[in-house]
Structure 1
C-alpha cells in the first residue's frame, strides 16, 4: 500500500507540473478556459506575468514533492508529505474562495486523498 500511496502523491506532483505548464506556456484562450478567467483579462501583459509567476510556484511545488519522494523515507518523508499535502489543500480552499470553485476539486481533492493515504498507510 505504501507504493500506491507514493504513486498517488506523485500524481499530485505531476498535476502541479501540468498546471505550471498551462500557466506559463499555454495560449491565452486555453488559460482563460482552464482557469475560468475572461479572455480579455488573460491577454493582458500583467495577467500573463502573474500567471507565469504562479506557474513557477506550481511547477516547483510539483518538483519538490517528487524530490522528497526520491530523497527521503520513513517518518521524515511521511511528515514532509503530510505538510505538503496540507499546504496544497489550504491553497485550494483559498483558491476556491478567490478564483474558482473547481480548484477545490481539481487540486484540493487529490491532495486530500493523498494526505489520507499518507497518514494511514505510510
Structure 2
C-alpha cells in the first residue's frame, strides 16, 4: 500500500504543479478553458489573484514532494498527512464555493491517499 500511496502522492503533486503553471502563467488561456462558467472579461482582471493562488498550489506540491524525499518513515508519514489534509480541505472548500468538480479532481485523490497511508 505504501508504494500505491507514494504514486498517488506524486500524481497529486504533479497535478498541483500543473495548477501552479496555469494559474500563474496561463490564466488567460487554460484558465478560461477550465473555468468556463466565469465570463471571459473577468480573467484579465483576476490574473494577479490567480497567480497568488497558483503560488499556494506550488507550496502544496513542494510539501508533497518533500514528503516523498524524507528518509525517516515517521517524518515522511506526518509531512504527507499534513499536506494531503491541506489539499483535501482545499478540495472541500472548492466544492462548496466553486464547483463539485473541484472535489473530484483535488479532494478525492487526497482522501484516497490519506486512506492508503493509514492502511498497512
Question: 2:84–2:111: 8 Å Cα contact kept in structure 1?
Answer: yes
Indicate whether 1:35 and 2:32 are aligned. Answer: no
Query: Cα distance, 1:85 vs. partner?
Result: 1.1
Listed as ranges, the gaps of 5+ residues in structure 1 are none
TM-score with structure 2 setting the length: 0.89
Q: After TM superposition, what 4+ stretches of structure 1 lie above 3 angstroms from structure 2? A: none
Q: TM-score, normalised by structure 1?
A: 0.88
Q: Which residue number corresponds to residue 53 of structure 1? A: 52
- How far 1:74 sits from its partner (Å)? 1.3
CA RMSD across the alignment: 1.5
Deviation at 1:109, TM superposition (A): 0.9
How many residue pairs match? The answer is: 119
Question: What displacement does 1:70 show?
Answer: 0.5
Shift of 1:27: 4.9
Gaps of 5+ in 2: none
Deviations 1:74-103 (A, max 9, x none): 122112212211111111111111122211
